[in-house]
């Protein structure tokens, strides 16, 4: 039996479906762009290009009935809509993800803009910040009333400071009374995209449950703002 007419008919149907898909997807994407399709940049066109290529490849080799092809087509269109909408609202999604991470892992923070970090207060109203000090992760309690960074004995040991070689010659007043501290220099401290180098800190000789992030680091930033339950740090 000669199948060539049937094959030609299938290709005609495939091309018609591909043209319909291209028209629908591009029209939908253009309607979502504030200034129309002409305002798109290369980055926004990439998701659409990937979707179109996948649809063309899948439909070009399909020999299934029209009904099944229509179902497959609807899946591709739905996937394309999800990707385009997700890209359009990527900033909002990042903010939602950041807030979720703050709930699951306090101190994680959210980068809301280049050089801007935002932290949510914990249940006690305090702000916890995860930082990287000399390449080691350290969790700090933010204390804008502290003149410097106060390291607990545990964190000082983790950072490689030898207690026997530290000179505890600086008297300091803490919530538990007077104690002494040893001055050290932190080669680097990083909070998200916010970097600081050669920052002065003090190793607390007394009991300190958690290291404190004070003004010796915070003063290197361009903005430190506490509004309600939100702390904003900006380079």
Quickly list H helices, the chain: 4-32, 42-60, 66-88, 90-104, 153-158, 215-218
Strand ranges in 192-229 using DSSP code E only, listed in sequence order: 194-204, 211-213, 223-227
Encode the chain (235 residues) as per-residue pLDDT tens digits: 444 444 545 555 555 666 666 666 555 555 555 444 444 454 555 565 666 666 666 655 555 565 665 666 677 667 766 766 666 666 666 656 656 655 656 688 888 889 999 998 888 889 999 999 999 999 999 999 898 999 999 999 999 999 999 999 999 887 778 899 999 999 999 999 999 999 999 999 988 989 999 999 999 999 999 999 899 999 9
Q: What is the pLDDT of residue 42?
A: 47
Q: What is the pLDDT of residue 6?
A: 46
Supply φ then ψ for residue 8, to 5 degrees.
-65, -40
Residue 110's Cα: distance from chain center in Å? 6
Q: How far apart are CA 115 and CA 34, in angstroms?
A: 27
């Amino acid at each position: 039996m000669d199948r060539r007419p049937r094959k030609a008919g299938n290709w005609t149907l495939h091309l018609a479906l591909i043209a319909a898909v291209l028209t629908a997807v591009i029209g939908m994407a253009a309607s979502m762009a504030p200034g129309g399709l002409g305002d798109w940049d290369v980055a926004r066109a990439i998701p659409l290009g990937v979707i179109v290529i996948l649809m063309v490849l899948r439909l070009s080799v399909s020999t299934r009935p029209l009904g099944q092809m229509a179902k497959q087509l609807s899946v591709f269109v739905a996937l394309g809509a999800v990707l385009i909408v997700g890209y359009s609202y990527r900033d909002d999604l990042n903010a939602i993800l950041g807030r979720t991470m703050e709930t699951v892992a306090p101190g994680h923070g959210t980068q809301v803009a280049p050089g801007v970090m935002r932290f949510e207060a914990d249940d006690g109203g305090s702000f916890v910040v995860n930082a990287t000090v000399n390449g080691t992760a350290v969790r700090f309690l933010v204390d804008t009333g502290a003149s410097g960074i106060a390291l607990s004995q545990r964190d000082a040991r983790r950072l490689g400071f030898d207690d026997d070689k530290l000179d505890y010659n600086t008297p300091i007043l803490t919530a538990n009374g007077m104690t002494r501290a040893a001055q050290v220099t932190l080669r680097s401290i990083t909070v998200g995209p916010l970097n600081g180098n050669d920052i002065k800190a003090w190793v607390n000789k007394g009991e300190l449950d958690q290291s404190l992030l004070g003004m010796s680091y915070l003063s290197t930033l361009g903005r430190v703002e506490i509004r309600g339950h939100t702390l904003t740090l900006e380079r």
